[in-house]
Amino acid sequence: MSIELKKALYNISALADLGQEITSENNFQEKIQSVFYVITGTFLANRGAILAYDKKTARLGVLTQKGFSPADLARIQPEELRMFSKNEPFLLAGTSLPAVAGAELLVPLWVRNEFIGALLLGGKLTVDPYTPEDIELLNVIAHQIAIALNNHTLFVDLSDKLEENRRLYEEMRHIYHGTLQAFAAAIDAKDAYTKNHSHRVAKYSAAIARELGWNEHDIEGMYVAGYLHDVGKLAISNDLLNKVTPFTPDERAELRKHSTLSHNITEKIKFPWKNVEDMVWHHHERLDGRGYPEALARESLSDGVRILTLADSFDAMTSQRPYRQKMDVASAITELKKCLDSQFDNRILLAFCRVLDKEIKGELPEPDILPHLESISDLSVISVLLQAIIAELSPPENSPA
């Protein structure tokens, strides 16, 4: 085999190496380093550099280099390189470009009309001059490197935009939650006895949903429904909400309008979560169909409604009201259990008991229910009660949950 043929095969092999490195799963810096080795190894160049154009600073940055002085490389101005042909290698000697000690060849890298960077090569170890074949091969290599650099820039730009969108979305979520909390505070401020009720119901509901294995998006929807379930109370008179004596039938009917009012207000909001307006509308329904406002029963009540109903009732029972004393936690839990089937769902009470039991045992990093329960004198008594209910309501092993 002639030396020319061997050299041609070596060059083809170098192009294959280049393609393999550019398309490899290595990270960008590793790719660039490998590509740089392919180039210096192909031409036996004793010096070399790959420079990338940064559009923001309008400067060339060094991606990798060997043998050049950083100060010399910093003198290469992108504007001066734009005058030369795209991806065409040229000898530096005789040009007006600033001298870079040891540099012989320069290739401005372009993709279509976009200036991408530059490739710089020193002389060969063999001291042979670059041949026309070398220049031709370098031109092909330059095209490939330019595309690889451009793809990386596009990828980084996209990643930056994605990150910015994520940040904006998080900010919006933050504002959204802040607005919801302001609404909840406005609702709770109307009734001195229900201070922070919406906040607690939101927390309890989300904790139950999480225990049931809901995904984070749906848990967030449950949390929002908890916050807004009483928003309709904004339209109920303060006198009625804060009335100390028992309600008359008319007053009770007026008060009961709040869940429909909550629905009317929330249905106008385009929530990113499903069924928020349904949950707030029906949070006073009962499994036996004796609730309000629509007297829906069992199959008509979603899990979200069932969770909200239980969380709302539990917080109502364990909170002081103008017309009655608050219940202790054990009594409230016993009351919830007493109302299973008629009012509350077995699965939901089971999940509630499980999550509260875990919180008491310190098994959850951020408890949602326990911090809101005032003065539980004996947690072990509550835990025994919870475990008894859990044992009773848990489906037998080997049977579907």
Partner 1 sequence: MKAVKFSVVSRLEGNTAVIYPKGYLNNLSGESLVVECGNYIGSGITNIVVNFSETDLINSIGISMLLQIIENLKNIHGTICFTNMSKFLRETFEMLGLINHMTVFPLESDALQYLKAGNL
Of 40-48, 174-182, 235-243, 278-286, which segment contacts partner 1 by CB under 8 A? 40-48
CB of 85: closest distance to partner 1 in angstroms? 25
CB-based contacts of 149-153 (< 8 A; 24+ apart in sequence): 149/52, 149/63, 149/109, 149/116, 149/117, 150/111, 150/114, 150/116, 152/28, 153/52, 153/55, 153/116
Binding mask of the shown chain, residues 93 to 132, with x at each position contacting partner 1 by CB under 8 A: --------------------------------xx-x----
**What does residue 323 show for φ and ψ, rounded to 5 degrees?**
-105, 0
How far CA 252 is from CA of 77, 258, 261, 288, 351, in Å, comes to 81, 11, 15, 20, 31
CB of 139: closest distance to partner 1 in angstroms? 17
Which is closer to partner 1, CB of 17 or CB of 267? 17
Q: Which of 241, 238, 240, 224 is nearest to 184 (CA)?
A: 224
Of 14-22, 87-95, 130-138, 264-272, which segment contacts partner 1 by CB under 8 A? 14-22
| Lookup: tokens for 209 | 């949903």
Of 30-38, 50-58, 267-275, 342-350, which segment contacts partner 1 by CB under 8 A? 30-38
Q: Is 136 in the site for partner 1 (CB under 8 A)?
A: no
Which is closer to partner 1, CB of 36 or CB of 214? 36
Q: Is 46 in the site for partner 1 (CB under 8 A)?
A: yes
Q: Is 7 in the site for partner 1 (CB under 8 A)?
A: yes
Q: Is 66 in the site for partner 1 (CB under 8 A)?
A: yes
Which is closer to partner 1, CB of 49 or CB of 317? 49
Give strand pairing partners of 49: 65, 120
Other beta carbons within 10 angstroms of residue 331's beta carbon come to: 13
Which is closer to partner 1, CB of 21 or CB of 220? 21
CB of 103: closest distance to partner 1 in angstroms? 16
Q: What is the DSSP letter of 45?
A: B
CB of 146: closest distance to partner 1 in angstroms? 19
Of 42-50, 183-191, 319-327, 344-352, which segment contacts partner 1 by CB under 8 A? 42-50
Task: Find all residues with CB under 8 Å of 302, minimum gap 6, and list them.
Answer: 275, 278, 279
> What is the rounded distance in angstroms from the CA atom of residue 376 to the CA atom of residue 380?
10
Stretch 324-363 residues interacting with partner 1 (CB under 8 A):
none
Q: Is 217 in the site for partner 1 (CB under 8 A)?
A: no
116 by DSSP, 3-state: which?
Answer: strand
Q: Which of 227, 247, 228 is nearest to 237 (CA)?
A: 247
CB of 144: closest distance to partner 1 in angstroms? 14
**What does residue 327 show for φ and ψ, rounded to 5 degrees?**
-85, 155
For residue 384, the one-letter residue type is V
Please report, as ranges, the residues that interact with partner 1 according to CB under 8 A. Answer: 3, 6-7, 10, 13-14, 17, 21, 26, 30, 33-34, 36-42, 44, 46, 66, 125-126, 128
